[in-house]
Homo-oligomer: A and B are copies of this chain.
Amino acid sequence: MSATATAQSNVTSERVFNFSAGPAVLPVSVLEQLRDEMMCYPGAGASIMELSHRGKVFVEIMEQAQSSLRSLLNVPDTHEVLFLQGGSALQFSMIPCNLLRGSNKTAEYLVTGSWGKKAIAEGRKEGDVTATFDGSTTNYDRVPKAGDYQTSSDAAYLYYCSNETIQGVQFQSEPEAPAGVPLICDASSDFLSRPLDISKYGLIYACAQKNAGPAGVTAVIMRKDLIDKGDAGLPGYLNYQNHYEADSMWNTPPTFAIYVLGKITRWLLDDIGGLEAMKALNEEKSSMVYDVIDANPNFYKGHAQVDCRSKMNVTFNLPSDELLSKFIKEAGEHKLASLAGHRSVGGIRASLYNAMPREGAQALAQFMSDFAAKNG
């Protein structure tokens, strides 16, 4: 890696197709805006990073980010949009701290992979929890069907992770929570990849660094009547009510990350045309790759059961460790980068988030076909 800054005009040609699971690929047109506004946000006399969060310019950026997120997802007035720090990992704790602690109820978790496991471990610190479904018996290769689990109508909440980033299993639609039981969703890795009916959720959250922006901001969309449940004795940052009352400015928000998130939501609205269009493109991209897996069943072994396959993270393995290394090496030579699976499961993981262009999925599918033909 050379430390010399490359001349701006030709660096775009050096860009690779980046299949990282997060932080992850961003739209080129958004990066161009960030570059062009870096020295001076238009009309502000300073970079966006230098502006007070309480000043007119940033308050407007914050409001635009919130309102374009609301219109993308059709967020009803019953729900608030918060932008927080601490990543999704802090939500693993904030949720039970606010909605379980002191409630004398049990929180139910559908554990379908690594992130659900981490979330339930944090929940356990704050009260009674139970793994209503636990996918570990089949090595987290699927999500439950409606009949596979039973939820108590007295649960504190029903928690699930819509897309397990590491295993590559995804709920195709929301699980159903009994009336009165808030449905809580970790949508970190498929947020904004498809339309959602937000009215079904008590709380849904996503760290930005997969589909919504850079690492450093987490969007939380929460039913307002749940906000008031927290204990005043909680560490202030962990109390949703503080952030709600201060419009996500209880303390200094991560201004640059929110600004980028705002740009991404505008890109989704204006360039992509909304979440139905985004969903169609994501289905097209992931199908290209799954089709190669299915066409070469003796060579590529998909991890997820077919009806639980993730449109975001395609996980599969090769016949041997040698072929796996060779695959990653040769892919790199084709400018297909960051394909190694998570260190906990190995294999290949190709993340095809919103900003991965069709051409990237196409190039990967072609490479996979050729590689299987040569090495199968």
Contact = CB atoms under 8 A, between A and B. Distances in A.
A256 interface: yes
A256 B214 contact: yes
A188 to B, nearest CB: 10
Contact of A252 (B22, B94, B234): B22
Nearest to A236: B122
A14 B40 CA distance: 7
A125 interface: yes
Contacts of A147: none
Copies in the complex: 2
B16 A46 contact: yes
Contacts of A60: 1
A233 to B, nearest CB: 5
Given A11-B40, A38-B34, A255-B215, A53 B23 contact: yes
B6 A45 contact: no
Interface string A222-239: 000000000001111110
A86 B251 CA distance: 9
Contacts of A92: 236
Interface residues of A, number: 85
A6 B337 CA distance: 34
Contacts of A215: 49, 53, 252-256
Nearest to A3: B42
Contacts of A50: 18, 20, 23-26
- Most chain B beta-carbon neighbours within 10 Å: one of A44, A234, A236, A254: A254
A205 to B, nearest CB: 14
Give the one of A4, A45, A60, A94 with max B CB within 10 A. A45
A37 interface: yes
A212 to B, nearest CB: 12
B85 A21 contact: no
Contacts of A35: 8, 35, 38-39
Given A24-B50, A254-B216, A90 B97 contact: no
A43 B7 CA distance: 12
A79 B18 CA distance: 36
B338 A22 contact: no
A15 B251 contact: no
Contacts of A53: 23, 215
A67 interface: no
Interface string A42-70: 11111101111111110010000000000
A32 interface: yes
Given A2-B42, A86-B86, A233-B125, A23 B36 contact: no
A264 to B, nearest CB: 11
Given A50-B20, A52-B20, A85 B216 contact: yes
* Shortest beta-carbon contacts, A-B, top 3: A93-B235, A216-B254, A1-B43
